[in-house]
Structure formats: structure tokens, C-alpha cells
């Protein structure tokens, strides 16, 4: 099953809180720390508070249909403000003393919540959310993630994603708690299947280009991507692949990079970047290099942000009189 995961928008937070409140309705830990009186309403309000905080200071991702939600906080997240703390205390009521949050290791992100609506559980959604979120943490420079869980089934899920148990409280006065930690590492040349923003998609696209593996590049493109090269127009993945692979065959050591990136459009569902591209490599047995202008158009799809159009042209003559010669 192919599950589409996206970074949450502000309008997603209310339905995401509904999803989490249904997912945690019978969860041992929430049953332990939230009073029975008004339990469901209290649970929902707490989830909405935490989601708003994570959205402002960390990472919240959702499935496209909002059946699953995950939220993480970076080590740099500030302490909640006084108003939020007061609301948390009020909602936990006389069970507030049952909450004793541990201090995460220095520099670690914390997985705050991961929930899937009961009618959608068992379909790989939690795995897709974890895969997306851990890649996003890596993109943001995270090196490790910690979490607590009170469900042994979750322990097995997290272990499949590289987490290891670092502490276990059996649970005499409450449910058991497993504390887990994972080191985050992106394999060389790895391209995430779910670029979470246009900026991430551009970064992944440039990295993929330098792998000389079009299967990596294709992950960032829409099926109908259109390219305007200086000497050809390519429409669709088959034509674009042929052009890329022809170029790599001619310049097997080509290195490609971008400078002076400017986002001239940065909308919720579309973005446009312009930049100076440069390349270097060996062509016909001699060192060669070139430069030009690139315009990239990205769109937000069900599989994250994708490149849908690229237009390459030479540098203005006034800026680089040799530009046409270099890029020819």
C-alpha cells in the first residue's frame, strides 16, 4: 500500500487531534494520566495543544487523508508558555503528579506522538509516518531520536526502525514504560521518497543528479515533467531520462551544483526557484566546465514536493562573456 505523507498545515491540526484522540482512546498511559471524568474531551484538548506546540516548534506530519499523525520536537524547542502549562495542569486535574517527563539526551529529538485512526490500523501507516519523519529529522540535521511507549506492540514497531530500548519501568503504580532511542543516519546518495518542502526537494534533486542514477532523480520528478534544455525539449520521464543518461555518458565524472538560489514563488502548493547552475567534468578527454541560469518549478503532490519543470539557459553575456562558449 502506498501511503502519502505530508507536513501538516495549520488547517490539518484540528482533524489531526481528532485522529489522535481516537487512536489513544484506550491507550494505557493516557488512561493513567487523564481523569475518567470528561476523559475523551480532555484527551482531545491535550492532543490539540501538543500538536499546536509541535507544529510551531518542531515537526508534525500527516497522511493525506489525516488517518495518521506523527509529531516530534527538536532539542531547541522552547519551554511551553505559562498559558499552555496552565491548560495542561487543568486538563490532567488531580493526575498531573503522575507525569514526570524525563530529560532527553543532549541534542536528541523527541518523538512526542504517533497515532493511527483505529479503522485504519494494520495497513502500514505507522511505518510510513515513521519513515517520513525520521528522514525529515535527518534533513534538519538531527542525529538521534528518543521516545517513550507503554505498549509492547509499539516496542516491536520501533525496533524495526532502528530504535533500541534504553530503559524499562515495569509499572507497579501505572502502566509499563519503555524508553527507546535511535541513531539517525542517511545513506550516501539516499533520496527520500517524500520531499517535505520545495527546499528539500531541490536539495534532494541536486544530490540525486550527482549520483548519475536516474532512478534517484526520478523520485523528485512528476511523471509529466517538462525540461527546456539549451539544445532540446524533453516531455515526460522517458525523454528526460534519455537526455540525462546521454549527458552522463558523455561526461562520466560530471559534477553539478547550484549557486545564488532565490525562491521567487513560495506558495502552499507551488514554488519556483531560480539559480545559477554550474558543472564541471571531462568531455572528449579534456577538462570542461560551464554555467547558466536555471528555473525550477515545484508542486506539492500526494507524494510530497516534486519538480515539474526545469528551464536551463545561458548566463547573460554581460555577466559572463564566455558563457555561451562554456555551456555549448
Distances, alpha carbon 122 to alpha carbons 7, 126, 154, in Å: 22, 8, 12
Cell of 171: 509499572
Residue 42 has pLDDT above 80, yes or no: yes
pTM of the predicted protein model: 0.60
Residue 193's pLDDT is 52
pLDDT score of 245 more than 90: yes
CATH class given for the domain over 5-183: alpha beta
Which position has the grid cell 484527551?
A: 43
Average pLDDT over the chain, rounded to an integer: 87
User: Can you tell me the mean pLDDT for 124-128?
Assistant: 89
Q: 11 or 325: whose pLDDT is higher?
A: 11
pLDDT band at 327 (very low <50, low <70, confident <90, very high): very low
The average pLDDT across 185-195 equals 56
Domain boundaries, the chain: 5-183, 198-327
pLDDT in the model for residue 323: 41
From the number of C-beta atoms within 10 Å of its C-beta (0-12, 13-18, 19+), residue 16 rates as buried
Q: Mean pLDDT over residues 14-39, rounded?
A: 93
Q: For domain 198-327, which architecture applies?
A: Roll (3.10)
Instruction: Determine the angle formed by the axes of helices 125-139 and 152-159, rounding to 10 degrees.
Output: 50
pLDDT score at 324: 40
Ranges 91-105, 264-278, 312-326: which has the least confidence: 312-326
Cβ-Cβ contacts under 8 Å for 101 (sequence gap 6 or more)? none
Q: List pLDDT tens digits, range 200-226.
A: 889 889 988 988 989 889 989 999 999
The yes-or-no verdict on residue 194 having pLDDT over 80 is no
- Residue 62 phi, psi (nearest 5): -140, 155
- Across 129-138, 182-191, 193-202, least confident range: 182-191
Contacts of 119 (CB under 8 A, 6+ apart): none
Q: What angle, rounded to 10 degrees, do the helices at 13-23 and 39-57 form?
A: 130
**Cα first-last separation, the chain:** 45
The pLDDT of residue 317 is: 61
Amino acid at each position: 500500500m502506498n501511503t502519502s505523507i505530508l507536513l501538516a498545515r495549520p488547517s490539518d491540526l484540528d482533524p489531526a487531534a481528532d485522529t489522535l484522540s481516537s487512536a489513544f482512546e484506550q491507550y494505557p498511559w493516557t488512561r493513567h494520566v487523564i481523569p475518567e471524568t470528561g476523559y475523551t474531551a480532555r484527551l482531545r484538548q491535550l492532543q490539540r495543544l501538543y500538536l499546536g506546540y509541535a507544529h510551531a516548534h518542531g515537526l508534525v506530519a500527516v497522511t493525506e487523508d489525516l488517518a495518521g499523525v506523527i509529531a516530534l520536537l527538536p532539542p531547541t524547542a522552547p519551554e511551553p508558555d505559562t498559558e499552555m502549562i496552565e491548560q495542561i495542569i487543568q486538563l490532567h486535574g488531580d493526575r498531573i503528579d503522575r507525569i514526570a517527563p524525563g530529560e532527553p539526551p543532549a541534542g536528541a529529538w523527541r518523538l512526542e506522538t504517533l497515532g493511527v485512526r483505529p479503522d485504519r490500523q494494520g495497513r502500514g501507516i505507522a511505518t510510513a509516518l515513521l519513515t517520513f519523519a525520521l528522514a525529515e529529522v535527518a534533513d534538519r540535521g538531527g542525529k538521534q531520536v528518543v521516545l517513550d511507549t507503554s505498549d509492547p506492540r509499539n516496542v516491536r514497531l520501533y525496533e524495526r526502525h532502528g530504535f533500541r530500548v534504553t530503559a524499562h519501568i515495569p509499572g507497579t503504580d501505572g502502566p509499563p514504560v519503555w524508553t527507546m532511542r535511535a541513531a539517525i543516519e542517511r545513506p550516501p546518495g539516499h533520496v527520500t521518497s517524500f520531499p517535505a518542502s520545495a527546499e528539500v526537494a531541490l536539495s534532494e534533486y541536486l544530490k540525486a543528479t550527482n549520483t548519475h542514477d536516474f532512478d534517484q532523480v526520478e523520485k523528485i520528478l512528476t511523471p509529466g515533467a517538462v525540461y527546456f534544455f539549451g539544445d532540446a525539449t524533453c516531455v515526460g520521464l522517458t525523454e528526460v531520462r534519455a537526455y540525462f543518461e546521454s549527458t552522463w555518458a558523455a561526461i562520466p565524472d560530471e559534477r553539478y551544483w547550484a549557486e545564488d538560489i532565490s525562491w521567487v514563488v513560495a506558495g502552499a502548493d507551488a514554488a519556483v526557484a531560480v539559480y545559477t547552475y554550474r558543472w564541471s567534468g571531462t568531455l572528449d578527454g579534456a577538462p570542461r566546465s560551464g554555467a547558466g541560469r536555471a528555473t525550477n518549478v515545484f508542486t506539492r503532490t500526494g507524494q510530497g514536493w516534486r519538480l515539474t519543470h526545469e528551464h536551463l539557459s545561458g548566463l547573460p553575456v554581460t555577466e559572463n562573456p564566455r558563457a555561451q562558449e562554456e555551456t555549448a
